[in-house]
Amino acid sequence: MSQLRLGRLVAFLQTHPGASADDIWQATRIAKYTGRISDARAQGFDIVCATRADGRPGYWVRTVGLGW
């Protein structure tokens, strides 16, 4: 079951870069998304948390070539 949630989380972050914790919860209903982020990182996804323009933390899936 966690693989399904992991896939949903990664797909959501790819289509909603900079999503906040509230955004993730409202869209995916994944309560323990930080655990899924750790799982995604363990599988090779480069997910970063950074401060958005509004001052809140957001999550991005880092893609090669974006110059991060």
How far is Cα 36 from Cα 24, in angstroms, rounded to an integer? 11
| Domain boundary assignment for the chain | 2-61
Q: In the structure, what pLDDT confidence band is assigned to residue 66 with cuts at 50, 70 and 90?
A: very low
Fold of 2-61: Arc Repressor Mutant, subunit A (1.10.10)
pLDDT digits (tens, 9 = 90+) for 5-62: 888 999 999 999 999 999 999 999 988 888 889 988 998 899 999 999 999 999 999 8
Q: Who has greater pLDDT, 8 or 3?
A: 8
pLDDT at 68: 46
Question: Cα 52–54–59 angle (5° rounding)?
Answer: 25
pLDDT at 5: 83
CA 38 vs. chain centroid, Å, equals 10
pLDDT at 33: 85
